[in-house]
Amino acid sequence: EAGVAQSPRYKIIEKRQSVAFWCNPISGHATLYWYQQILGQGPKLLIQFQNNGVVDDSQLPKDRFSAERLKGVDSTLKIQPAKLEDSAVYLCASSLSSGAQETQYFGPGTRLLVL
Amino acid sequence: GNSVTQMEGPVTLSEEAFLTINCTYTATGYPSLFWYVQYPGEGLQLLLKATKADDKGSNKGFEATYRKETTSFHLEKGSVQVSDSAVYFCALRLTGNQFYFGTGTSLTVIP
């Protein structure tokens, strides 16, 4: 079974530029998550999708971050404009459903450096 | 609110030593509990999980028991190996809700 795919793996941009990340979840997984992991910290949820609908985006900085999952499969996360403090690893994860017992499977992450 | 507290690292052990990484949680409800591991340069991988009180999760020689009375889910391994060097994250999840992760504990095992 293929895992969660993410691209690119690394990205370096200057502040005020825009950037987009792509995620392809495990086939059949209805729930998709985007996390931000700042160096030395645990992952922080940015947004959770159930199929193509947003379940939780309470911690997404909506003035600069946006995400979509138009067909309920792939998802993109965009930052526009980027700030220095956005430097982090952006993790995508998926699970079969949003049940408490469901395991989340994580992709390798996209490491973003904002200069 | 919901939160997870892990013992701070870094932790350095000699090969074959006993490992304990403490994890306690606060949750409004009955969460499932997880340990994830992040090897250098890789994404998070599920190590083990427990979905109800008194359950014991185990994998690769690691164990953790869901203790509702002490709201804990401590990770243990009887004999660590160099290949266990990684960052370990404790997490909880409530139905329909997000995961809450601890800050991670870095483990280095030296030969």
pLDDT in tens, B19-73: 999 999 999 888 999 999 999 878 899 999 999 999 999 999 999 999 999 999 9
> What is the reported pLDDT for B29?
82
Three-state DSSP class for residue A106: strand
> What is the reported pLDDT for A11?
97
Task: Compute the count of residue pairs across chains A and B with CB atoms less than 8 Å apart.
Answer: 60
- 3-state helix/strand/coil string of A28-81: CCCEEEEEEECCCCCCEEEEEEECCEEEECCCCCCCCEEEECCCCCCEEEEECC
> What is chain A's pLDDT, residue by residue, as a tens digit (115 residues)?
679 999 999 999 999 999 999 999 999 999 999 999 998 888 999 999 999 899 889 889 999 999 999 888 999 999 999 999 999 999 999 999 877 677 889 999 999 999 9
> What is the reported pLDDT for A104?
87
Contacts of A86 (CB under 8 A, 6+ apart): A64, A79, A112, A114
Among A48, A99, A103, the residue with its CB nearest the CB of B95 is A99
> What is the reported pLDDT for B43?
83
Binary contact (A104, B104; C-beta < 8 A): no
* B23, B48, B98, best to mutate vs chain A, most A CBs in 10 Å: B98
Confidence of residue B96 (pLDDT cuts 50, 70, 90): low
- Gap from B80 CA to chain A (nearest CA, Å): 23
d(CA A91, CA A115): 20
For residue range A54-78, what is the model confidence (pLDDT) as tens digits? 988 988 999 999 999 988 899 999 9
- 3-state helix/strand/coil string of chain B: CCEEEECCCCEEEECCCCEEECEEEECCCCCEEEEEEECCCCCEEEEEEECCCCCEEEECCEEEECECCCCECCEEECCCCHHHCEEEEEEEECCCCCEEECCCEEEEEEC
Please report residues of A whose CB lies closer than 8 A to that of B44.
Answer: 43, 91, 93, 106
Confidence of residue B75 (pLDDT cuts 50, 70, 90): very high
A20: phi then psi, degrees, rounded to nearest 5: -135, 145
Three-state DSSP class for residue A82: coil
